[in-house]
């Protein structure tokens, strides 16, 4: 599991690559904390290379989503695959996130 955070103009893009399972979620928690500190900005979670996500990963997404809403920032989720879309459907995340 790998997270790369980059600035694209005014947008903060976090590229997630690999399988975000329970073990990986613990591993990348610091990256999400770093993102939460800048939650007042426009953040895009790029999921092009994200193969899989479990509830631990979803929790990270949701926490960041709450932080963004509280700070008046913007959070978008980009390029989710069919499996993740299915998980988003099952968890209602599909309506919580702006998916582009």
Partner 1 sequence: MKKKEKRKIPGVGKGLWILIVAAVVLEGTACVQYFTARTSIRKEAEKLAKTELLRAELEIEKHTIEMETAAKALAMMAEKYVDCPDSIFSATRSVVAILNENTSIAVAYVPGYFEGKRTKGKGERIGRFFEPCSSRFSEDSIYTRQIGSAEHDYTLMEWYQNGFIHDSCWWCEPYLDDSGSKTFVVSCSCPVHDRKGQVVAVVCVDLSLDYLQSMSEYLRVYPESFYSITSSTGEQIVPIGDTLPGRKYQSFDEEIDATGWHIEIIIPDDVIYADLRQVGLMIFIMMIIGLAVLVFITTRAARNLIELMNLSHDQERMDSELTIARNIQMAMLPTRFPPFPDYPNLSAFGVVIPAREVGGDLFDFHIRDNRLFFCIGDVSGKGVPASLVMAMTRSLFRSFSAYLDNPAQIVSQINDSLSGEGNKQDMFVTLFLGILDLSSGELHFCNAGHNAPIHVPSSPVPCTILDCLANLPLGVLAGFEYQEQSAQLEVGDALFLYTDGLTEAENGTHQLFGEQRMMSIVESQKSKEKSPQELIEAMQQAVAAFVNGAEQSDDLTMFAIRLINLSTLNSQLSTLKNNHFSLVMRNDIQQIPTLAEWIDSIEMPEELNMPINLALEEAVSNVMLYAYPGTNGQVLVECEKSQEPTTNSQQLIFTITDSGIPFDPTQQKEADITLSVEERQIGGLGIHLVRQIMDDIRYERKDNKNILTLVKSLNC
- Confirm or reject binding of residue 62 to partner 1 (CB under 8 A): yes
The minimum distance between CB 53 and partner 1, in angstroms, equals 8
- Applying the rule CB under 8 A, the residues between 71 and 100 that interact with partner 1 are 83, 86-87, 90-92, 96
User: What x/- string results for residues 25 through 44 when contact with partner 1 is judged by CB under 8 A?
Assistant: -x------------------
Nearest in space to 50 (alpha carbons), one of 90, 74, 82: 82
Measured distance CA(43)–CA(30) in Å, rounded: 16
Residue 31 CA: distances (Å) to CA of 5, 73, 78, 89, 97? 8, 18, 18, 25, 19
Binding site for partner 1 (CB under 8 A): 19, 21-23, 26, 52, 54-56, 58-59, 62-63, 65-66, 69, 83, 86-87, 90-92, 96
């Amino acid at each position: 599991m790998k997270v790369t955070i980059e600035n694209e103009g005014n947008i903060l893009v976090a590229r997630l690559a690999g399988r975000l399972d329970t073990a990986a979620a613990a591993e990348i928690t610091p990256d999400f904390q770093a993102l939460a500190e800048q939650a007042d900005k426009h953040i895009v979670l790029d999921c092009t290379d994200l193969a899989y996500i479990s509830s631990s990963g979803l929790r990270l997404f949701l926490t960041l989503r709450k932080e963004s809403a509280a700070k008046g920032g913007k959070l978008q989720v980009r390029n989710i695959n069919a499996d993740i879309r299915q998980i988003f459907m099952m968890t209602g995340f599909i309506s919580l996130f702006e998916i582009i």
